[in-house]
Structure 1
Amino acid sequence: MRKLNYFITALTITAMIAAGCSVQSGGTKSTTDIVTEAVDTELSGTSSVEKSTEEVSSLPTSLNTTSEVVIDTEFTARDLEVGYEESTAVFIALKDNATEIVGDGATVSDNSITISNEGTYVLSGTLSDGQIIVDVSDTKKIQLVLDNVTINSSLSAPLYIKSADKVFITLKEGSENILTDGTEYVQTDDNNVDGVIFSKADVTFNGSGTINITGNYKHGIVSKDDIVITGGTYNITAVKDAINGKDAVKIMDGIFNLSADTGNGIQSKNGDNTTKGYVYIAGGEINVIKCQEGIEGTVIIVEDGTINIIAADDGMNAASGSSDEATEKGTTTNRTNRLGQEGSNASAPAGGAPDGTAPGNGGGARENPSNFSGGFGGGMDEVDTNCYILITGGTITIDASGDGIDSNGNLYITGGILYIYGPTSNGDGALDYNGTADISGGTVLVAGSAGMAQGFSDTSTQYSLLYNLTSVSTAGTEINLTDAAGAIVASYTPVKEYQSIVISTPELTKDSTYTLTSGEQTAEITLTSVVTSNGQHRMGGSLGNRTAR
């Protein structure tokens, strides 16, 4: 898996801690199975089968047991297969008004090629204004091999999968394929075609070639069923979503450079079926360099891979609703509720308050900056029990102007490394969740604004701290957390100004004292509780203030 080093370098990341374990799984699993196994493995290093009933019953899965979303973590052998039999394949050489077809199953009319029989089709050549249409029965499978194809379509999708059981799009090794569209579409049937690659069927992308997609109308890749990607390089620029799968988006491997002007990098939401609408990432390198929200789904699971997101709004957002919605009503409502419930937090000053009150702590004098007490319990927002975010591995870096991670349900972290930079506004938070945020493994390093800052829930099993500084630290000011012996536990350099810090690593231990330094600001912090905080954290799913244990 290749790395885009320029992105990491630009974020000036220095990690001084070890990553948590990654969990590998397969098959179709329920929500409870996924969360239980992930947390189970991280807590003990064993499978859930080897653990006692008493241990399993203590896992933080109570809210997720009501989620109806069914996660399929399997990638089939056919999803991975990139080969084909040349003797039976149909070869289509694209050329304006002179396309040649060798074999049966496809016809050409002007610059429109229609594939109507099951089989493998190898495409090459150029259409300056044309279209490939797949129209077979919903029991038939098609393989399209793209071998240096360039297709522009001024009035519709260059590749339109109108009907099929499943279509496999193979990017031939060494090939570079280019698909572009116009700024307006003319609809020719009952389907609302709105993407450069538009599919009414399940679609799998594989191979080791490259595809460059420019969506001038709306989306880059759209499927009204599942999108599965097991390899290849994807450079996608779109007006709205770069990748949009209504039922699911599943990524096993590949390199993704995604830019969505007014939409999301990757989205899967289904307003018609509450059991669908999830994003599952098992590997690959994903760079969302421009978007409103980086990854959005009813459920988001990250098991492995390298993910870098720069978002105008949320980095990751778990929310129910329609895949076609341009904005997330839940996010707006949640933000409004949180602003209303804690006026003192919402209006927290950008710098230290002149009367000595602690920003993000609901007012009141703070005699000692290391004297922690539990803040407000995380919000009065309605919990959407169908939503959750689960991170079990990988390295994720989020630069967000809105919430870094926003779950309308729960957040679970059992492994991996997560960096969040931003927001800078006090109306957003680096961590935003409506249920609980449980961490049992991995490393989380956060630097954002203090006004709506949340830490982890005290139902967590790994220790964490949330500390709101008395004044804003400028971008590039290094954060260091050292233990009593002076050894560095965590060190990172945020690329944005910040006033709130959240740190959780496996090295943190109960009753140990640490020194937190940000520029000239220093605090000694004793971890008297699994969550030590002078800001917000949720008390085991309930609301209220209480002194840290």
Structure 2
Amino acid sequence: MMKNSLRRTLAEMAAVTLAICSLTACGDNNTTSSSMSNKNSIHITPEAEDMSLKSLDDEKSSDKTEASTSSSVIDTTDMFSKRDLEQSPDLTDAVSLEVSDGKTLTVTEAGVYVISGKAKNCTIKIEADKEAKVQLVLDDVDIENDDFPAIYAVSADKVFITSADGSANSLSVNGSFTADGDTNTDAVIYSKDDLVLNGTGSLTVNSAYGNGISAKDDLKITDGSYTVITAKDAFEANDSIAVCGGDFTIKTDKDGFHAENDEDSSLGYIYIAGGSFGITAASDGIQGTTYVQIDGGTFDITSSEGIEATYVQINGGDITISASDDGINASRKSDQCDVVVEFNGGNTTITMGQGDTDGVDANGSIYVNGGTINVTAQMSSFDYDVKAEFNGGTIIINGEEVSEIPESMFGEPMGGHGGMGGFGGGRGNGSEGFGTPPDGFTPPDGQSGNGFGGHRGNRGNFDKQS
């Protein structure tokens, strides 16, 4: 008991340290740095544990006690540049442009451009030198197109789209997108290069048949208010998505945030340090190919799967997920990292729908080092294929705090292996069962099974076991 208490105490201290280091990631580019290491769970060496126990017994402190702590899985050093974080642009040498029906405004030089006006079938096209930084300041812009992006960045080093203070901007494409040669321009804002969204105004994006905002390199968002309604991904990038501020209202028939690179399996990651997110998604709320790391922010996600990646790391934030498949899911999408779900801090609340669903599902391992995880699930609260470690923090399942991570727990926290017999739920191997299911529970079809605790068994009907 003493060893378990010490292990959790040290793990909680490590998790708090990590959370503090992550709090100012948006404002200070050098606050959270690490390599993309796979050593992400907290491990305490036997020597350190023995020395710590001895010091406790002797009522003495030991300066030799060591614990290796979890590190950020994403290198956030210089994640956001000074200009990324400047919400009020320098307009000293800005050029003013006004949109008009059926016209293309082409920007070919680096600089700041203030865009205003209302138009139909108008595109702001950026074709600048590969070293050019182009900033579009949207000042009450309203563009409605039939089949082509409202903003199309063909070439530049980096494109900034800034919503001017107090402005309300709207961009929409109402039909299917028309390709530009070999380029499938499938988003209302489409950039072939790095894209930054900032400012203190608002931007509404509607895409009836495609994506909302797409960057084929990196997408960064540091502030602004965004309402995005799409048939496909709301925010999409090939290399990475990094967010440290902003207010987001998203309704999508696919994913809220999606990062995926088909050519480089080390890319396609998502980092979120702050912001307010209301996401309603038919598929995933947040999906990355390699990593999803959340250090802060407030999230209200209603989706099929809440958060999905090869490696999911939660270091902070207040996260509420209502899911019909898995709340948080780690599955093999990249060979660059282990398959892991890791909690080091924050408050995560997951409510699962009926059916064969898991609150936290890892096709690898689960590490709980800190934070509070509150899962309400009729089927399985936690499911993992390799191992699970509970080193610190708080886990609540169906309203009851537990002292260990169950495997494929069925409903109420009643045992992890074998359970209490079966009312046909098919999880565990008990001998006696209940013939009546709990109120509101609908079992999946299949063969009869035993138990509702412990490991997954066969799915079953509600037959009393004898």
TM-score by length of 1: 0.61
1:169 CA displacement: 0.9
Following superposition, the deviation at residue 444 of structure 1 comes to 0.3
Q: Hey, what does 1:430 align to over in structure 2? A: 359
Supply the distance in 1 between the matched residues of 2:393 and 2:116 (Cα, whole angstroms): 56
Aligned positions of 1:18-417 closer than 5 A: 21=16, 22=19, 23-24=21-22, 25=25, 26-27=29-30, 29-32=34-37, 35=40, 55-56=67-68, 74-96=79-101, 110-261=102-253, 263-298=254-289, 299-311=291-303, 313-318=304-309, 387-408=310-331, 409-417=339-347
Deviations 1:67-96 (A, max 9, x none): 9x7665621111012334434111012233
Aligned to 1:479: 399
Q: CA deviation at 1:121?
A: 0.3
Corresponding residue for 1:493? none
Matched-pair contact (CA < 8 Å) for 1:148–1:176: yes
Could you tell me which amino acid in structure 2 is paired with residue 412 of structure 1? E
Alpha-carbon shift at residue 33 of structure 1 (Å): 8.5
Deviation digits for residues 369-404 of structure 1, max 9, x if unmatched?
xxxxxxxxxxxxxxxxxx210001000000000001
Contact 1:466/1:500 (CA < 8 Å) preserved in 2?
no
**Secondary structure class of the residue paired with 1:83:** coil
Cα deviation, 1:328-360, whole Å, max 9, x if unaligned, reads: xxxxxxxxxxxxxxxxxxxxxxxxxxxxxxxxx
CA RMSD of aligned residues (A): 3.4
For 1:414-493, what aligned pairs fall within 5 Å after superposition?
414-426=344-356, 428-450=357-379, 453-454=382-383, 457-462=387-392, 479=399, 481=401
Task: Mark the CA change 1:175 to 1:449 in structure 2 (over 3 Å): closer, same or farther.
Answer: same
Task: Quote how far apart the aligned CAs of 1:414 are.
Answer: 0.5
Cα distance in 1 between the residues matched to 2:158 and 2:96: 20
Task: Report the secondary structure of 1:198's partner residue.
Answer: strand
Conservation of the 8 A alpha-carbon contact between 1:431 and 1:454: yes
Contact kept, 8 Å, 2:39 with 2:70, in 1: the verdict is no
Quote the offset at 1:111 in angstroms.
1.0
CA distance, structure 2, for counterparts of residue 52 and residue 129 of structure 1: 69
Q: Equivalent residue for 2:460?
A: none
CA distance in 2: counterparts of 1:317 and 1:458, whole angstroms: 18
Q: CA deviation at 1:36?
A: 7.1
Which secondary structure state, in structure 2, belongs to the residue aligned with residue 78 of structure 1?
A: helix
Secondary structure at the residue paired with 1:430? strand
* Residues 220 and 463 (structure 1), Cα distance of their counterparts in 2 relative to 1, 3 Å cut: closer
Percentage of pairs with the same residue: 30
Match of 1:508 in 2: none
* 8 A contact 2:326–2:361 mirrored in 1: yes
Which has the larger displacement, 453-462 or 133-142? 453-462
Normalising to structure 2: TM-score of the pair? 0.72
CA contact (8 A) 2:372 2:394 kept: no
Higher relative contact order (CA 8 A, sep 6+): 1
- Aligned counterparts of 2:138 and 2:342: Cα–Cα separation in 1: 39
Following superposition, the deviation at residue 452 of structure 1 comes to: 7.8
Aligned-pair CA distance for 1:37: 9.7
CA contact (8 A) 1:147 1:172 kept: yes
Output the CA distance in 2 between the equivalents of 1:34 and 1:250. 22
2:381–2:411 Cα contact (<8 Å) kept: no
Native 8 Å contact 1:448 1:501 kept in 2? no
Q: Secondary structure at the match of 2:345?
A: coil
Q: CA deviation at 1:480?
A: 5.0
Note if contact 1:430-1:453 (Cα within 8 Å) is conserved in structure 2.
yes
CA drift of 1:291 comes to 2.9
Determine if contact 1:156/1:182 at 8 Å carries over to the other structure: no
- 5+ residue gaps, structure 2: 1-14, 45-51, 53-62, 332-338, 404-409, 415-437, 440-451, 457-466
Q: 1:457 & 1:395 partners in 2: Cα distance?
A: 26
2:431 alignment partner in structure 1: none
Measured against aligned partners, the alpha-carbon deviations of 1:399-448 in whole angstroms (never above 9, x if no partner) come to 0000010001101101000000003112x211110121101110000011
Write the distance in 2 (CA, Å) between the matches of 1:209 and 1:188.
Answer: 30
Residues 372 and 393 of structure 2 are in contact (CA less than 8 Å); yes or no, is this contact kept in structure 1?
no
- Secondary structure at the residue paired with 1:79? helix
Q: Any conservation in 1 of the 2:42–2:369 contact (CA below 8 Å)?
A: no
Contact 1:166 1:201 in 2 (8 A): yes
For the 8 Å contact 1:71–1:278, the answer to whether it is kept is no
SS at match of 1:147: strand
| CA-CA distance at 1:451 after TM superposition | 5.4
- 2-side partners of 1:163 and 1:171: how far apart? 21
Taking the aligned partners of 1:34 and 1:175, their CA distance within structure 2 comes to: 46
How far residue 130 of structure 1 moved from its aligned partner, in angstroms, is 1.0
What is residue 378 of structure 1 aligned with on the other side? none
Supply the distance in 2 between the matched residues of 1:276 and 1:292 (Cα, whole angstroms). Answer: 21
* Secondary structure of 2:389's aligned partner: coil
Q: 1:282 is matched by which residue type in structure 2? A: A
What code does the residue aligned with 1:479 have? G
Amino acid paired to 1:432:
D
Q: Does the CA contact (< 8 Å) of 1:411 and 1:437 recur in 2? A: yes
Equivalent residue letter for 2:94: A
Structure 2 CA distance for aligned equivalents of residues 459 and 452 of structure 1: 15
